[in-house]
Amino acid sequence: MNEEKGILDQETVALDEEAVAVVIIDQTKLPGKTELIRLRNAQEIWDAIYLLKVRGAPAIGVAAAFGIYVLAEQIGTKDYDAFLSEFRKQKAYLDSARPTAVNLSWALNRMEGVVTSHPKESVKEILRLLKKEAQDIKEEDIRVCRSIGEYGLGLVKPGDGILTHCNAGQLATSRYGTATAPIYLGQEKGYHFRVFADETRPLLQGARLTAYELHSAGVDVTLICDNMASMVMKNGWVNAVFVGCDRVAANGDVANKIGTSGVAVLASHYHIPFYVCAPTSTIDLSTSTGAEICIEQRPGEEVTQMWYKERMAPEGVKVFNPAFDVTDHGLISGIVTEYGVARAPYEKAFREIFRKKEGTQE
């Protein structure tokens, strides 16, 4: 690792073509240590996703795309049917790492589509196409995030106070982030936003990641505990809320990091617009409402002892530790995509968004 590089100069997810490995920033070590790790086998890639060494829906998708390519390179056969069978086994294994973020299965399905649409090609050519598809997914992510930032920037004005929850920043994507994209673009234009970052218990992504990257970029950022959001809103310091998401249902319900729905309730109470920044790859039209979204349950140790020298809860106490919650569409002022801002009724808005997307791909 080049120690002279700042955190924003490092790529969140990359492919080491020479070593045929996925390279990620180990986000469990931030902000104290910036460590790049190489992932070469299925267990390492699965663990990196499950253990949050790489996290954030878009970054998980990019890591999965590079990951399945790396594993495909290791399939020792030139027979197409045997290759496809093993590819699907590896795909199913990676897809089991985290159930809520739709970008994981979205990226893996895209990569599988490369294989199934080229049954007459040699395995060598399919591998070349797989690498290109994974690289395209990453490049698309960068363009998508910048576009989300441009649409989001149109919803605020210079000097505004913005509150964000968890980390939907550059560390969750290939560049710019989703919820932070308007902040970074505003920084380029001299908007001088005042940002409040929730610490985001229990894994502290807001404290360890969002506050770290925004502070590194020179943004005026103030870290607050999750239970302080009401006070800063009541004080009039927040003009808009921007959050990311891991899955959007067809009716506009949104699954995002635990605590997001509480922020939305507070924003509604104080009449503050609440915006969700979501690439269209995160919109899951096959899921009708948020009630159908599978919510990942994580180990209780993340709450009771992860950040403490000594355990901070009695032995044997029950712990409820969902990774995500669902924000009702009625609490959302708009969903910012790379093709514009969708507003209620979301079913109709999404149809328009996807028509626009399909038109750009013709």
Q: List the chain pLDDT tens, one digit each, 362 residues.
A: 444 567 889 999 999 999 999 999 999 999 999 999 999 999 999 999 999 999 999 999 999 999 999 999 999 999 999 999 999 999 999 999 998 889 999 999 999 999 999 999 999 999 999 999 999 999 999 999 999 999 999 999 999 999 999 999 999 999 999 999 999 999 999 999 999 999 999 999 999 999 999 999 999 999 999 999 999 999 999 999 999 999 999 999 999 999 999 999 999 999 999 999 999 999 999 999 999 999 999 999 999 999 999 999 999 999 999 999 999 999 999 999 999 999 999 999 999 999 999 987 65
Task: Classify domain 147-360 at the CATH class level.
Answer: alpha beta
CB 296 within 8 A of CB 323: yes
d(CA 332, CA 248): 12
Contact 275, 241 (CB under 8 A): yes
Catalytic residue among 141, 226, 246, 284: 246
Is 47 an active-site residue?
no
Topology annotation, domain 7-144: Four Helix Bundle (Hemerythrin (Met), subunit A) (1.20.120)
Q: CB count, 10 Å around CB of 234?
A: 12
Could you give the residue range(s) of every CATH 3.40.50.10470 domain in the chain?
Answer: 147-360
Helix (H, G, I), strand (E, B) or coil at 354: helix
Under 8 Å between Cβ of 187 and 154:
no
Residue 297 is given by DSSP the state B
Alpha-carbon Rg for the chain, nearest whole angstrom, is 20
How far apart CA 68 and CA 71 sit, in angstroms, is 5
Can you tell me whether residue 254 is helix, strand or coil?
strand
Q: Which two tokens stand for residue 220?
A: 């005026």
Q: For position 362, what pLDDT does the model report?
A: 52
Question: How far does CA 166 lie from the centroid of its chain?
Answer: 10
pTM (two decimals) = 0.93
Q: What is the pLDDT of residue 3?
A: 43
Token reading at 316: 């044997």
Instruction: Tell me where in the chain the CATH 1.20.120.420 domain(s) lie.
Output: 7-144
